[in-house]
Amino acid sequence: MNFSKEQILERCNQFSQNTLMQTLQIEYIDAGADFLVARMPVNPAVHQPMGLLHGGASVALAESVGSAASFFYINPELQEVRGIEISANHLKSIREGYVYGTARIIHKGRSLHLWEIKITDEEGNLVSLCKLTNMVLDRQKK
C-alpha cells in the first residue's frame, strides 16, 4: 500500500457515504500494511428478531472491510474490485456494543484477492470468522 493510515481511513469513510455502510454505521478505524479494521454498532437496527446481531449484518461488515482493503492493492484508475464469494461461521452472539471487522490478506494475486475477516466484540472475543474472495477487473473504457 502506498497510502498513509490516515489517507486509507479517510478514503474508506468517504466512499462509504450514501451506501449500505453508512446505513449500518460502519466506520473504518485502523489500517496497516496488511490489514484494515472497521467497526459497527450493535443495536436494534442490526438485530434479528431474538434481539441478537443478525448474521447478515456481520457478513455485510465483513464484505465491506474486505472489499475496501482490496481497493488499496489495485490501481483504481485502471481496475475495480468485485466480491465473488463470501462465507461466514457465526460463533458467538452479541446484543449490544460494537463489533470490529479485521481483514487480513491471505492471497494477493493479479486477478484474485483472498481475505480472512475476523469479527470480534469489544473484549476481543471472536463473533464470526469470514472468508472473502474478490476479483480484480480491468475498468471498462467509456
**Pairing label, strands 79-90, 27-32:** unpaired
Catalytic one of 27, 63, 80, 96: 63
What is the rounded CA–CA span in Å between residue 80 and residue 57? 24
| Cell, residue 77 | 484508475
Rg (CA), the chain: 15
At 71, which amino acid appears?
A: F
Active site residue 63: yes
Cβ distance 20 to 38 under 8 Å?
no
Cβ distance 94 to 66 under 8 Å?
no
**Catalytic sites, residue numbers:** 63
